[in-house]
Amino acid sequence: MSINLFDLTGKVVLVTGAAHGLGMAMAKGLGNAGATLVINNNTPANLVAAIEEYKKCGLTVHGYSFDVTNESEVMQSIKKIETEVGPIDVLVNNAGIIKRTPIVDMEVVDFESVIKVDLVGPFIMSKHVAKGMIERGGGKIINICSMMSELGRTSVSAYAAAKGGLKMLTRSMATEWARFNIQTNGIGPGYFATSQTAPIREDGHPFNDFIINRTPAARWGDPEDLQGAAIFLSSKASDFVNGHIVYVDGGILATIGKPSNED
């Protein structure tokens, strides 16, 4: 009997921050692979609208509103999810924020807020979801990292610090939990075409030209480009893959500069 290594039928997948953008794109891919989706957002109105969008796509989805940085809320919500929907087989730590401010101008409270959501949040979520996975003998955790896990860039110091930390947290989780048949990996998106990047993707915009020229694939990523990596890391196909960051960036991290057209 043949086995579809990428089939997620019967799996309960929790994706935080999946009411829009890249989180929603990944969640849709996971749902189309058969997963029962649980999505999170800390704004109830956004959650309701997102659930309608998923249902229009014919996907099975459940929504829960809670703050990933509030440990008591997280614990209560995980218990509720596992009672009402089922044990969480896959956790995707996608919720995140960014504040674009030069270091010398950034307030400590703003720096700390980014670290709390982008790094402490995945720690809290993973800590409590992993407890159930350990008891059941396995699971998958996917941390959404960034190219800023590897590269610096002006005005995003807090985000880069958090994502660099998340890369190392991913490796630490893999080190501690692999013996329990838990695979912990990350996905590092490059530059993607979303509603947030629309203003800087216009033809002739300096940043649009920079990204097109800097990316060997010579284009922005489509949110659906993340679905394959998400499905792979959620599925049986990745059962011996642990502690890695899969960069979905069109090749940016592979090159030192502007690609050449010469052979």
Q: What is the pLDDT of residue 2?
A: 67
Q: What is the pLDDT of residues 22-51, one digit of tens each?
A: 999 999 999 999 999 999 999 999 999 999
Q: What pLDDT score was predicted for residue 109?
A: 98
Distance of alpha carbon 28 from its chain centroid, rounded?
13
Mean pLDDT, all residues of the chain:
95
pLDDT at 197: 86
Would the pLDDT of 1 be above 70? Answer: no
What is the predicted pLDDT for the residue at 21? 95
Contact 113, 97 (CB under 8 A): yes
What local confidence, expressed as pLDDT, does residue 262 receive?
Answer: 54
Residue 253 confidence (pLDDT): 96
- For 236-258, the pLDDT digits (tens) are 999 999 999 999 999 999 998 76
Band of the pLDDT at 3, cuts 50, 70, 90?
A: confident
On the question of pLDDT at 89 being above 90, the answer is yes
Please tell me the predicted confidence (pLDDT) of residue 196. 79
Please tell me the predicted confidence (pLDDT) of residue 203: 86
Q: Do 96 and 125 contact (CB within 8 A), yes or no?
A: no
Taking residues 111-129, report their average pLDDT: 98
Query: Is the model's pLDDT at 72 over the cut of 60?
Result: yes
User: What per-residue confidence (pLDDT) applies to 108?
Assistant: 98
The domains located in the chain, with CATH, are: 12-192+222-250 (3.40.50.720)
| Confidence check: pLDDT of 179 > 80 | yes
Active site positions, annotated: 159
**Token pair recorded at residue 123:** 């720690």
Q: What is the pLDDT of residue 247?
A: 98
Listing DSSP states for the chain in one string gives: ----TT--TT-EEEETT-SSHHHHHHHHHHHHTTPEEEEE-S-HHHHHHHHHHHHHTT--EEEE---TT-HHHHHHHHHHHHHHT----EEEE---------GGG--HHHHHHHHIIIIIHHHHHHHHHHHHHHHHT-EEEEEE--GGGT---TT-HHHHHHHHHHHHHHHHHHHHHGGGTEEEEEEEE--B--TTTGGGSSTT-HHHHHHHHHSTT-SPBPGGGGHHHHHHHHSGGGTT--S-EEEESTTGGG-SSSPPS--
pLDDT band at 259 (very low <50, low <70, confident <90, very high): low
- What is residue 147's predicted lDDT score, i.e. its pLDDT? 94
Q: CB of 238 within 8 A of CB of 40?
A: no
What does the pLDDT look like over 187-218, one tens digit per residue?
Answer: 999 999 998 788 889 889 999 999 999 999 99
